[in-house]
């Protein structure tokens, strides 16, 4: 939930395949600049924006997505909010496959950390 709005759908498209088996999505902070010391005060230096997203993937019982596809091809991640707003990440690549976890009562889930080369959307 961002700004009191719930996520309706989170979908990743890679090579024409759409994956939407996600229990949650978390957008990391976007650092736009930093403070720098100058002779008589503090200045500002812009930084290259880095986009990171962590999704909680619900591993399907049949044919799970092969995440190594995101090491050779970039995807597009789209987050649709219930208020009609949409955030889209382009150039999505795999950074880290987290451990899979289950508690015997819920489905098998795995945290996947992704990076993107660009971001379009209204939230943040």
- Taking the C-alpha atoms of residue 35 and residue 37, their distance in angstroms, rounded to an integer, is 7
If you average pLDDT over each of 5-9, 29-33, 68-72, which comes out highest? 29-33
The total domain count for the chain is 1
In the predicted model, is pLDDT for residue 23 greater than 90?
Answer: yes
Q: Is residue 97 part of a domain?
A: yes
Per-residue confidence (pLDDT) for residue 1, from 0 to 100: 44
Name the residue range of residue 32's domain: 7-120
CATH number at residue 82: 2.30.110.20
Q: Is residue 1 part of a domain?
A: no
Per-residue confidence (pLDDT) for residue 3, from 0 to 100: 52
Q: Is residue 2 part of a domain?
A: no
Q: Is residue 28 part of a domain?
A: yes
Residue closest to 79 by CA, chosen among 48, 51, 107, 49: 51
Q: Residue 116 CB: number of other CB atoms within 10 A?
A: 21
In the predicted model, is pLDDT for residue 19 greater than 60?
Answer: yes
């Amino acid at each position: 939930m961002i700004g009191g709005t719930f996520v309706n759908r989170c979908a990743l498209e890679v090579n024409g395949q759409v994956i939407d088996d996600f229990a949650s999505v978390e957008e990391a902070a976007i650092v736009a600049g930093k403070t720098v010391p100058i002779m008589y005060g503090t200045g500002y230096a812009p930084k290259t924006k880095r986009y990171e997203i962590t999704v909680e993937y619900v591993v399907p019982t049949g044919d799970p997505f092969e995440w190594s596809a995101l090491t050779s091809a970039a995807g597009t991640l789209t987050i649709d909010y219930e208020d009609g707003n949409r955030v889209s990440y382009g150039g999505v690549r795999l950074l880290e496959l987290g451990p899979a976890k289950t508690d015997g009562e819920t489905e098998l889930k795995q945290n996947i950390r992704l990076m993107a080369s660009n971001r379009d959307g209204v939230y943040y």
